[in-house]
Structure 1
Amino acid sequence: MKKFNSFLARFMLVLLALHGLMGAFTLLRLTASNCKPLSYILLAALLLHGILGILLSKDAVREGMRTGRWYLKENASFWLIRLSGFIILLSVWFHITAYTTTVNGVFFLREFTTLRFFSQIIFISAILIHLLCATKPWMIKRGLLKYEERTADYILVYSIFSVLFLFALISYFIYWNF
């Protein structure tokens, strides 16, 4: 189950990059392409990854409840990955409903309010935190001896993508409100 979840995470990274780039270019009004099947596949993969993450974490939670010792400091990265994943699962609904709606089969843009803006900031931040915390353990699990250099490369790529996504989000918010 761990290997499948690791494969699923890599598959989701590719889908997330494509979805994020398409969304950013749409928010920046550089394209009007729409690839709903990609979004639905990413959502299904996200939900499956979340369910597998919960199942794989149950032993740690059960042991913490049994002994009363959670080792939060020692396993800060482990618990931060779980917390950010939980926030992602909660805020994905706000992401799905933030931009568009359909009324009687007609597609409309929603007004992009401050609340929607901040919900998307939280969503992007939770994804970035999740990826940053999970990269080092993922590299070690894959058996990479020089994981420090690769981890830095991944973090750089995540950061560049996140800056682009945040720039597009801020631009879209300014476009709607000013």
Structure 2
Amino acid sequence: MRKLNAIVSLLLIILFLIHTIAGSFQMMKIIPGGNEMMKNLSYFMLFLIGVHILIGIKLTIDSVKIGRKSGKFYFRENAVFWTRRITGFTMVVLIICHVALFTSNGMVFRLNDYNEVQLVLSILLVLALLIHILANIRPLLISFGISGFRLYVKDILLVLAIISLLGAFAFVIYYLRWNIMWRY
């Protein structure tokens, strides 16, 4: 189960990077939107998110059962474990909000009105995702048998930070275009 979760997690990170880069370029009008392949990748990413959620729920239930059986939950000692669960749940809510921003007109997806609330929710999604990946990168690398993972963590986090900043910047640009530039 954990190996499957590691594979799903790696695929989700790759799809997140693709989605963030393509979506950012679309929001900044660098590339046109409406690409059928990107839409299909988004659906596949939602499917993988569902699988990841189910595995996470199963692992959480197992941990709570063990804690209940022993009578001690060790919340402080398991802070990273609960950070993973809390950011995961937060991301589920924010992903639902992110998907709800879009309307479908046949094969074309368009963003609804993009106001301050959507901007804040979008940036919170990026932050929650970064925290979730940061809390999970070490066990992910270990599950793939990568020793000396400290060398890789800094590089991975640098790439994730740059692409996440690109996504946050694109959300701000899109907000400005929608609310300031298009009004005049």
Normalising by structure 1, report the TM-score: 0.91
Q: Partner amino acid for 1:165?
A: G
Q: 1:123-178: per-residue Cα shift (whole Å, max 9, x none)?
A: 11111111011011222333322111111111111111111101101111111222
Tell me: higher relative CO, structure 1 or 2? Use CA pairs within 8 A at least 6 residues apart. Answer: 2
1:67 deviates by 4.4
Residues in 2 aligned to 1:137 and 1:30: alpha-carbon distance in whole angstroms:
36
Q: 1:66-89: per-residue Cα shift (whole Å, max 9, x none)?
A: 445322221211111111111111
Residues in 2 aligned to 1:105 and 1:14: alpha-carbon distance in whole angstroms:
25
Q: Is the 8 A contact 1:21 1:165 kept in 2?
A: yes
Q: Partner amino acid for 1:13?
A: I
Instruction: Name the structure 1 match of 2:153.
Output: 151
Instruction: Name the structure 2 match of 1:164.
Output: 166
RMSD between superposed Cα atoms in Å: 1.8
Q: 1:107-130: per-residue Cα shift (whole Å, max 9, x none)?
A: 554110111111111111111111
Moved over 3 A (4+): 65-68, 102-109
Residue 26 (1) aligns with residue 26 (2): yes
Structure 2 alignment gaps of length 5 or more: none
Structure 1 alignment gaps of length 5 or more: none
Residues in 2 aligned to 1:64 and 1:28: alpha-carbon distance in whole angstroms:
48
Instruction: Name the structure 2 match of 1:174.
Output: 176
Residue 90 (1) aligns with residue 85 (2): no
Instruction: Name the structure 1 match of 2:59.
Output: 56
Instruction: Name the structure 1 match of 2:7.
Output: 7
Residues in 1 aligned to 2:135 and 2:109: alpha-carbon distance in whole angstroms:
38
SS where residue 166 of structure 2 aligns?
A: helix
Q: Is the 8 A contact 2:6 2:143 kept in 1?
A: no
Cα distance, 1:107–1:76 mapped onto 2, change above 3 Å: closer
Same amino acid, percent of matched pairs:
31
Cα distance, 1:175–1:16 mapped onto 2, change above 3 Å: same
1:102 deviates by 3.4
Q: Partner amino acid for 1:127?
A: L
Q: Partner amino acid for 2:5?
A: N
Residues in 2 aligned to 1:91 and 1:102: alpha-carbon distance in whole angstroms:
19
Residues in 1 aligned to 2:82 and 2:109: alpha-carbon distance in whole angstroms:
40
Aligned with residue 110 of structure 1, among 90, 112, 127? 112
Instruction: Name the structure 2 match of 1:130.
Output: 132
1:31 deviates by 1.1
